[in-house]
């Protein structure tokens, strides 16, 4: 009987831990969704911020505009993934805001 209670208790603790981890990942995704309001959802955009050769770079109208010294591998995995696909914005202010988030 004690073994059964111990097994059930261990199982319950593991479930709580998994739930907490899942909640924290969901919060990170929600935070990403909040920053998407500054990102462009359509095909038309002026700036694209992405990773290239391990650094963050900015393209303006398809041409290299800015190369930062920020190493992408120092960022959280979720940020690395966003930069891999590219973050598209329309204005210089939006571009600067995104760069501040990643390069500070």
55 HSE (CA, 13 A, CB side):
10
Q: Are residues 92 and 63 in the same domain?
A: yes
3-class DSSP assignment, residue 4: helix
Q: Are residues 2 and 28 in the same domain?
A: yes
Token pair 């398809």 in the structure block, residue: 62
Q: Are residues 53 and 34 in the same domain?
A: no
What is the percentage of the chain residues whose pLDDT exceeds 70?
60
Q: Are residues 46 and 92 in the same domain?
A: yes
The domain in which residue 97 lies consists of 40-104
Token pair 């202010």 in the structure block, residue: 93
Q: Are residues 29 and 55 in the same domain?
A: no
**Residues 64-92: tens digit of each pLDDT:** 999 999 999 999 999 999 999 999 999 99
In angstroms, the CA 4 to CA 52 distance is 54
What is the percentage of the chain residues whose pLDDT exceeds 90?
54
**Residues 33-43: tens digit of each pLDDT:** 444 444 545 56
Q: Are residues 33 and 58 in the same domain?
A: no
């Amino acid at each position: 009987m004690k073994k059964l209670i111990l097994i059930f208790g261990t199982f319950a603790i593991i479930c709580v831990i998994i739930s907490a981890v899942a909640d924290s990942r969901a919060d990170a995704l929600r935070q990403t969704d909040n920053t998407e309001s500054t990102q462009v959802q359509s095909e038309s955009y002026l700036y694209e911020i992405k990773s290239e050769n391990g650094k963050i770079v900015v393209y303006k109208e398809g041409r290299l505009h800015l190369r930062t010294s920020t190493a992408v591998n120092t960022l959280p995995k979720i940020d690395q993934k966003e930069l891999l696909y590219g973050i598209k914005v329309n204005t210089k202010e939006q571009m600067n805001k995104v760069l501040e988030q990643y390069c500070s």
